[in-house]
Amino acid sequence: MADVMSTAVSGLLAFQRGLDTTSQNIANAATPGYSRQRVELATRPAQAYGSGWIGSGVKVATVARVHDTYLAAQVRSSASSLARYDTLATEAGRLDNVLGDSSAGLATAFQGLVNAFQEVSNDPSSVTARQALLSRARIFTDQLAGYDSRLRGFATEVNTRLQSGTARVSAIADSLAKLNTRIVDAYGRTGQPPNDLLDQRDALVGELASYIDVSVVTQDDGSANVYIGTGQPLVVGNTATALTVAPDPFDPAKLNVAIRSNGATVDVSSQMSGGSLGGLLEYRREILDPARDALGKVAAGVVAIVNGQHTQGITLSGALATDFFSMGGPAVLASSGNGGNATVTAAITDARALTGHDYLLEFAGSWQLRDITSGASVPLSGSGTAADPFIADGLSFVVGNAAIPGDKFRIEPTRDVVSGLRLNLDDPASVAAASPVRTSVGIGNTGSGSISPPTVTDVGNPALRNPVTIEFTSATTYSVNGAGSFAFAPGATIAVNGWSVRIDGAPAVGDRFTVSDNSSGRGDNSNLLAMLGALDAPSLGNGTASIADAATQLVARIGTQTAQAQANRDAFAVVHDQDVAAQQSVSGVNLDEEAANLIMLQQAYQASAQLIAVAQSMFDSLLNATRR
Model confidence pLDDT, tens digit, residues 3-44 = 788 888 888 888 899 899 889 989 999 989 899 999 988 888
Domain ranges for the chain: 2-66+603-626, 71-285+545-580, 437-517
- Predicted pLDDT of residue 608: 82
Q: Which 8-state DSSP code applies to residue 320? A: B
Q: pLDDT band at 1, cuts 50/70/90? A: very low
Phi-psi region of 81 (alpha: psi -120 to 50; beta: other; left: phi over 0): alpha
Secondary structure (DSSP) of 3-57:
HHHHHHHHHHHHHHHHHHHHHHHHHTTT-TT---EEEEEEEPPPEEETTEEE---
pLDDT digits (tens, 9 = 90+) for 455-484: 999 999 999 999 999 999 999 999 999 999
- Predicted pLDDT of residue 96: 93
What pairs with residue 471 in β-bridges? 479, 512
User: Quick one: which H or E segment has residue 227?
Assistant: strand 224-228
Q: How far is CA 242 from CA 165, 350, 398, in A?
A: 12, 47, 42
- Using CA atoms, how far apart are residues 459 and 316, in angstroms rounded to an integer? 17
Q: How far is CA 19 from CA 55, 66, 265, 489, 594, in A?
A: 23, 17, 52, 107, 10
pTM: 0.88
Q: How far is CA 330 from CA 164, 379, 403, in A?
A: 32, 19, 21
From first CA to last CA, the distance across the chain in angstroms is 20
Q: Residue 292's CB: how many other CB atoms inside 10 A?
A: 25
Three-state secondary structure readout of 538-558: CCHHHHCECHHHHHHHHHHHH
- Mean pLDDT for the stretch of residues 191-204: 92
- Using CA atoms, how far apart are residues 472 and 510, in angstroms rounded to an integer? 5
- Predicted pLDDT of residue 628: 59
pLDDT digits (tens, 9 = 90+) for 144-190: 999 999 999 999 999 999 999 999 999 999 999 999 999 999 998 98
Q: Which amino acid is at 173?
A: A
Give the dihedral sign, CA 371/351/498/512: positive
- Using CA atoms, how far apart are residues 618 and 625, in angstroms rounded to an integer? 11
- Using CA atoms, how far apart are residues 386 and 345, in angstroms rounded to an integer? 10
With H, G, I as helix, E, B as strand and everything else as coil, classify residue 233. Answer: strand
Orientation of helix 289-310 relative to helix 106-122, angle to 10°: 10
Q: Which residues of 225-255 are buried (b: 16+ CB within 10 A; e: fewer)?
A: bbbbbeebbbbbeeebbbbbbbebbbbeebb
Asked if residue 626 has pLDDT above 80, the reply is no
Find, among 287, 284, 261, the residue nearest to 272 by Cα: 284
Q: Which amino acid is at 335?
A: S
| Phi and psi angles of residue 571, each rounded to the nearest 5 degrees, phi first | -65, -45
* Biggest CA-to-CA distance, the chain: 162
- Using CA atoms, how far apart are residues 16 and 24, in angstroms rounded to an integer? 12
Least confident of 50-59, 274-283, 594-603: 50-59
pLDDT digits (tens, 9 = 90+) for 257-309: 999 877 788 889 988 889 999 999 999 999 999 999 999 999 999 999 999 99
Find, among 587, 593, 590, the residue nearest to 70 by Cα: 587
- Using CA atoms, how far apart are residues 529 and 21, in angstroms rounded to an integer? 86
Length of the chain in terms of residues written = 628
pLDDT digits (tens, 9 = 90+) for 557-592: 999 999 999 999 999 999 999 999 999 999 889 999
- Using CA atoms, how far apart are residues 362 and 108, in angstroms rounded to an integer? 40
Give the dihedral sign, CA 227/231/237/239: negative
- Mean pLDDT for the stretch of residues 71-86: 94
Per the prediction, the chain carries an average pLDDT of 92
Q: pLDDT band at 126, cuts 50/70/90? A: very high
Q: pLDDT band at 2, cuts 50/70/90? A: very low
- Predicted pLDDT of residue 265: 87
- Mean pLDDT for the stretch of residues 416-444: 94
- Predicted pLDDT of residue 542: 84
pLDDT digits (tens, 9 = 90+) for 317-338: 899 999 999 999 999 999 999 9
Q: pLDDT band at 48, cuts 50/70/90? A: confident
Sheet holding 390-392, edge to edge: 343-348, 395-400, 390-392
Q: Which amino acid is at 137?
A: A
485 or 49: which carries more pLDDT confidence? Answer: 485
392 and 292 Cβ atoms separated by less than 8 Å? no
- Using CA atoms, how far apart are residues 564 and 571, in angstroms rounded to an integer? 10
